[in-house]
Amino acid sequence: MKIGIMSFAHLHAEAYIQNLRAIPGVEMIGLADDDPARGRQFAEQFNARLFPSYEALLNEQPDGVLVCSENANHRPLVEMAAAAGVHVLSEKPLATSLEDAQAIVDACRQAGVILMTAFPMRFSAPLLEVKARLDDGSLGQVYGCSTTNQGQMPIKHRRWFVDRQLAGGGAVMDHTVHLADILRWYLNSEAVEVYATTNRILHADTVDVETGGLIMVTFANGTFASIDCSWSKPLNYPTWGGLKMELITERGLTVVDGFSQNLDIYNQKTPAHYWTFWGSDPNQAMVEEFVSAVRDRRPPRVTGEDGYKALEIALAAYRSAETGQPVRLPLA
């Protein structure tokens, strides 16, 4: 099986290239990027073939591609791949507008190719354990959830993350979709109302997008959840951030930490303190799921429709923050 990477704009592409190379029977054929300097940098860093254009990469007839461009640029790359009959794993959020997200879903459906949204937390061992306990009924009914996806200001990784046009927003767009997806998955229910407030208390003199947000989501089954999606971790934090959830259920309180499998490392070089992770690798499991779905010609465990629904919650949060009023879903 041949897999390529379209754009290295998203920092996760650096992990994905290693994930692909670790899968038996998969050839990572190379990458293409509309930023020539960025493409050369990562092709040299990872000793990978650099295609002169996206079209040239697709002419190699890969079985699948990973789309890792800026959020606003997912649609043209996915449509290009779908038109070539190539299966797609797209970074999150699926798009920056519902119009583009729907066009992405439609293009892949009409071309008969697989579309998977990159939600690695669906493959996190701690989160999978809680999902299993929810499904077998051992936790009972879920009444409410308090969740956090806090992180560092992403400016040191890729500047476009704080560009409203390319990213679609700030911390809300960056960090809401992960938890929106997990909550839909855990509760087997769709969001029906979103109420949100945002702020720019942190890094106010550095960027012009929101750096903090608190989102309240009500689901059709009556469960309510809060999402803290702030860029509140200091730049010297031992990792980019984290994802935690507290679930109030019939059986009591369940706490799950998606990044608890780590060791603290201290040394005399920069960074002086960092985490090294052990145990499961959700990114590896996610990429393996994409490859397996392509091989078996079956729907992936996370679909394009899942990406659409998570984006809808994030966009509803923006609308609520602007109006100061709850917003009903689905969005018109």
Query: What pLDDT, on a 0 to 100 scale, did the predictor assign at position 93?
Result: 98
How confident is the model over 297-303, as a mean pLDDT?
97
Pick from 46-50, 77-81, 163-167, 204-208: least confident = 204-208
Query: What pLDDT, on a 0 to 100 scale, did the predictor assign at position 204?
Result: 83
State the Cα–Cα distance between residues 162 and 271, nearest whole angstrom: 23
pLDDT more than 70, % of the chain: 99
What's the mean pLDDT when you consider all of the chain? 95
Give pTM, 2 decimals.
0.95
**Burial of 69: CB neighbours in 10 Å, binned 0-12, 13-18, 19+:** buried
Domain ranges of the chain: 2-113, 121-284+311-328
Instruction: State how far the alpha carbon of 253 is from the alpha carbons of 34, 184, 215, 250, 306, in Å.
Output: 48, 19, 21, 8, 27
Query: What pLDDT, on a 0 to 100 scale, did the predictor assign at position 89?
Result: 98
Query: What pLDDT, on a 0 to 100 scale, did the predictor assign at position 291?
Result: 98
Say yes or no to pLDDT of 155 above 80: no
Buried b (16+ CB within 10 A) or exposed e, 227-241: bbbbbbbeeebbeeb
Using one digit for the tens of pLDDT, what is the confidence trace for 195-225? 999 999 988 888 999 999 999 999 999 999 9
| pLDDT band (50, 70, 90) for residue 133 | very high
Using one digit for the tens of pLDDT, what is the confidence trace for 18-39? 999 999 999 999 999 999 999 9
State the Cα–Cα distance between residues 226 and 149, nearest whole angstrom: 11
Query: What pLDDT, on a 0 to 100 scale, did the predictor assign at position 273?
Result: 83
Q: Per CATH, the architecture of 121-284+311-328 is what?
A: 2-Layer Sandwich (3.30)
> Which fold does the domain 2-113 belong to in CATH?
Rossmann fold (3.40.50)
